[in-house]
A and B are shown apart, each in its own frame.
Chain A
């Protein structure tokens, strides 16, 4: 059993997880469907959004250069990080430069991807996650399991227990009360923080603007109160203009949570202007590669058009069976099965693209119509020579040897049919031999026919 299969096994045994996944996925699916009813030309908007994203990727170097120039013109400091460690170093340098001790973080998937928090904490900084789900995850020493709803694997009682154990709040499982505890506790964190770190949902090239899409208000807190604001942004997050941003914003919240817009859509174009009341003295944007340029060189470059809405995992029958942790890395679900091997390489991750029935539900709901099944097939093609099990590679070689030679093919399949029929009782096989054993763990196998359709057709005397 591979690491992935062990994680899957554990997840499938967890009946509490199964209940949580079924409940949450169903609700988010329904909300998405309802929300799209309020967008009459949704198909055209999705096509436009897809085009905007893909065209930007096609010209990414030029767009990045213009974006940087516009950010700089707005008074923003721009840094480039090739790898995770580079980003760690850059953030620590900014922290040192501004005498930062306390960091308040709003949700940033790329910061999880590069494991930033551990690095900052090792350097002696105090780092607090302020997105409620991420805060609970941090308190519990856990990991998020969904990109939009990070703690869907936890019950309200779980959350109450974590807060009780870690921050000594009275034991309760009432979400409103737990929310109030978080508000009170984190309020002081916001007021005391020296540095705010966020991700970026989008970067608008034309105006040098960072767009943050949030619901709780912590995104606004950490970009308003601390002296320094650091934005961590994957290089693929660009959109050309505000008009393109508008189209993507029509799709993001609807796809993610079923809202038309989240409570706060914040456009940041620089540090406080002279005369402003409040706002950070300095805004730094760190443009992060971390494997994205490698993905750009592959046939799966398209996956970089993902806007991180999570709709794909809500409709994925595999994700709703195994949950996010089984995927083993930052991004779960269908997008994760493509992005993780894309960013990290296939070694250690070859299971992910194979853990799909290619049903296509993800492609149907993706706001930018990413063709995830096609990309999974490409990864399988790349993985087959080195990662496919030996029996399968032999079987495929055998297949290729006979499939174009009808007589040899018929002879070979006749042997397979005979072998299977030997295990059959009353036309059914309860335990198939060899690799077929995996089939019969959960279902019977109908016995193959004694005479093939072709043989019977010939015998019918019809040619």
Chain B
């Protein structure tokens, strides 16, 4: 018998099921459908509570201006520019991309990404791994800027799971980013930017 067979056999004969309490569960409150506008507003509130800088731009030009301002003179590590929304990729001058060596990627001072969805209820950004969108971009630099298409702000994580079940399964990874990297391991004192970015900004476009 293999280890798997022995473990499963022990579990079968354990009949733990008979000793486990049986529980009925009450109905969960149904989620009240939220308008896109309500989602955006809620996202802003949650992001602010997390210390995430949230910029809402009503024009593509506004998105570009904001991004340029945040980038300033920083060395950029970016998604494949063609995958950034609002044609923002056009602003970037020869950014380091996820195909570069990791040592080079680690020299970047700002990471620029889009995102696949955002979660209003928690202020989270959702990103799937894939070509042209290395996971390192939102992780290695000390400053991460995410461009969010307003139409992609869902209300809850449950909504994301429902819509993207297949994509979650098909992707190597799906990451929910909820604020900057943090730790409170030392005397419960909050410190930001331990391994991931300590500064996160979101630009929500039209």
Contact = CB atoms under 8 A, between A and B. Distances in A.
Interface of A: 20, 23-24, 27-28, 40-41, 43-45, 47-48, 50-51, 54, 57-61, 64-65, 68, 70, 74, 80-82, 86, 130-133, 136, 149-152, 154-156, 159, 175-176, 178-179, 182-183, 186-187, 190-191, 207-209, 215-218, 220-221, 223-225, 235, 242-243, 245-246, 249, 257, 259-273, 275-280, 287, 289, 293-294, 296-299, 301-302, 371
B20 A28 contact: no
Nearest to A297: B14
Given A41-B28, A44-B25, A293-B10, A208 B173 contact: no
A191 B106 CA distance: 9
Interface-centre pick from B2, B185, B189 (highest chain A CB count, 10 A): B185
B107 to A, nearest CB: 11
Contact of A182 (B131, B179, B194): B194
Given A51-B23, A60-B11, A249-B157, A217 B139 contact: yes
A260 B187 CA distance: 21
5 contacts: A179-B193, A225-B102, A261-B178, A269-B170, A272-B129
A361 to B, nearest CB: 20
Nearest to A374: B21
Given A182-B194, A277-B132, A261 B176 contact: yes
Given A20-B187, A269-B169, A293-B14, 4 more contacts: A175-B189, A264-B196, A267-B173, A267-B174
Given A80-B2, A82-B7, A277 B98 contact: yes
B35 interface: no
For chain B, the bracket of interface size reads 35 or more
B28 A44 contact: yes
Contacts of A51: 23-25
A58 B182 CA distance: 37
Given A243-B161, A264-B177, A301-B16, A277 B186 contact: no
Most chain A CB within 10 A, of B4, B121, B156, B158, is at B4
A133 B182 CA distance: 12
B53 to A, nearest CB: 15
Contacts of B179: 263
Contacts of B170: 269, 273
A65 B8 CA distance: 9
B169 A221 contact: no
A149 B187 CA distance: 9
Q: Chain B interface mostly helix, strand, loop or mixed?
A: loop
Contact of A80 (B3, B23, B136): B3
A54 B25 CA distance: 12
Interface of B: 2-4, 6-8, 10-17, 19-29, 46, 97-99, 102-103, 106, 121-122, 124, 129-136, 139, 156-158, 161-162, 165, 168-189, 191, 193-197
**Closest 10 A/B residue pairs (Cβ):** A217-B196, A277-B98, A217-B195, A277-B134, A297-B14, A296-B16, A58-B17, A133-B185, A293-B10, A242-B161
Contacts of B197: 217
Contacts of A58: 16-17, 20
Given A80-B2, A225-B136, A263-B182, A175 B169 contact: no
A155 B121 CA distance: 35
Given A44-B29, A48-B28, A266-B173, A276 B188 contact: no
Given A59-B17, A261-B122, A264-B178, A246 B158 contact: yes
A296 B178 contact: no
B178 to A, nearest CB: 4
Nearest to B178: A261
A224 B194 contact: no
A276 B11 contact: no
B24 to A, nearest CB: 7
A280 B136 CA distance: 12
A218 B156 CA distance: 25
B187 to A, nearest CB: 5
